[in-house]
Homo-oligomer: A and B are copies of this chain.
Amino acid sequence: MAKITMTLPQDIQSSAEDYMDSQTHSNRPISSILIIIAMQTEALPLVEKFQLSEDHNSVFPKEVPWVRYHGMYKDLQINLMWPGKDSALGVDSVGTISASLVTYASIQALQPDLIINAGTAGGFKAKGASIGDVFLVSECAFHDRRIPIPVFDLYGVGLKQTLKTPNLLAGLDLKVGKLSTGDSLDMSVQDEASIIANDATVKDMEGAAVAYVADMFKVPAIFVKAVTDIVDGEKPTAEEFLQNLATVSAALDEAVTQVIHFISGKCIHEL
């Protein structure tokens, strides 16, 4: 297998910087945010806190299981998208395919100024993560798309910068770390090697997919991830994840609430 390198070609670096420049020069306050949350357990406390209503005349095709909750916080239009339950199996539609479809269709239908992907994640204690920690993500990449052909290898890794938010970080008590995304809850030896190459502190199943689509449409995106389980710890991931899901979801929702309060009335460049 070709070595996965994380060095960005110069032109991509520049294009990302141009984009950030164009975004940070907008002086219009953020008027519409899109929150993408993969699991109902993670989403419902926020729906309640902001008294969001479920959309019964969906702006999306009738065939999709996705659920939109919407409402206002001060002058901020909030759309919270949950990919819903799989229509055949009845479990949350987790993972990169649903996340990318929901992000794509929501950008088209709702034209958000900012995307917030919030969710639970595995954390690496070797990189400073503990159960219940909430991270603001500095960059996203994939760890399960190994394509050992030159340039395709970089495409597979799919590294994307997130919106830089120094004021948000200074104002809130959040940790900062890199996120690595894959469609498995467990971690294979190959996944682990890629996660280390990605220098990731947190591991989820949606972030880099949301980042891929957001980047395609140049919509600024931030990623708030709360740690339910320690990947490099003693306990089996699935058990620890299920044990901590409800309490860590509360910490996640508290953090997202603080983020929304902070965003309200501000421009992108003030974050």
Interface residues of A (CB under 8 A from B): 1-2, 9, 11-12, 15, 61, 63-64, 86-91, 93-97, 100-101, 104-105, 108, 142, 144-149, 151-152, 154-156, 182-186, 188-190, 209, 212-213, 216-218, 237-238, 241-242
Residue of B nearest to A182 (CB): B144
Across the A-B interface, the 7 shortest Cβ-Cβ residue pairs? A146-B184, A145-B183, A188-B190, A97-B100, A147-B185, A12-B88, A148-B238
Distance between A94 CB and nearest chain B CB, rounded to angstroms: 7
Assuming the contacts A156-B95, A218-B63, asked whether A149 and B238 have C-beta atoms less than 8 A apart, the reply is: yes
Distance between A143 CB and nearest chain B CB, rounded to angstroms: 10
Specify which chain B residues have a CB less than 8 angstroms from the CB of A86 in the assembled complex. Answer: 155
Does B184 contact A147, Cβ atoms closer than 8 Å?
A: yes
Distance between A88 CB and nearest chain B CB, rounded to angstroms: 5
Specify which chain B residues have a CB less than 8 angstroms from the CB of A145 in the assembled complex. Answer: 95, 183-184
Q: List 29 A-B contacts (CB under 8 A).
A: A2-B238, A9-B89, A12-B89, A61-B108, A61-B217, A63-B217, A86-B155, A89-B154, A91-B151, A91-B152, A94-B147, A94-B152, A94-B155, A95-B156, A96-B96, A97-B97, A97-B212, A100-B101, A101-B213, A104-B104, A144-B182, A146-B185, A148-B238, A149-B238, A149-B241, A156-B183, A183-B183, A188-B189, A190-B190
* A97 interface neighbour in B90, B96, B184, B217, Cβ under 8 Å: B96
Question: Could you tell me the distance between the alpha carbons of A270 and B144 in the complex, rounded to whole angstroms?
Answer: 40
Most buried by B among A95, A97, A145, A151: A97
Does B144 contact A144, Cβ atoms closer than 8 Å?
A: yes
Specify which chain B residues have a CB less than 8 angstroms from the CB of A87 in the assembled complex. Answer: 216
Specify which chain B residues have a CB less than 8 angstroms from the CB of A93 in the assembled complex. Answer: 155
Assuming the contacts A108-B61, A154-B89, A238-B149, asked whether A144 and B216 have C-beta atoms less than 8 A apart, the reply is: no
Question: Could you tell me the distance between the alpha carbons of A88 and B145 in the complex, rounded to whole angstroms?
Answer: 17
Assuming the contacts A96-B97, A97-B96, A188-B189, asked whether A183 and B144 have C-beta atoms less than 8 A apart, the reply is: yes
Question: Could you tell me the distance between the alpha carbons of A237 and B1 in the complex, rounded to whole angstroms?
Answer: 9
Does A186 contact B61, Cβ atoms closer than 8 Å?
A: no
Distance between A107 CB and nearest chain B CB, rounded to angstroms: 8
Residue of B nearest to A219 (CB): B63
Specify which chain B residues have a CB less than 8 angstroms from the CB of A142 in the assembled complex. Answer: 183
Does A156 contact B144, Cβ atoms closer than 8 Å?
A: no
Residue of B nearest to A65 (CB): B216
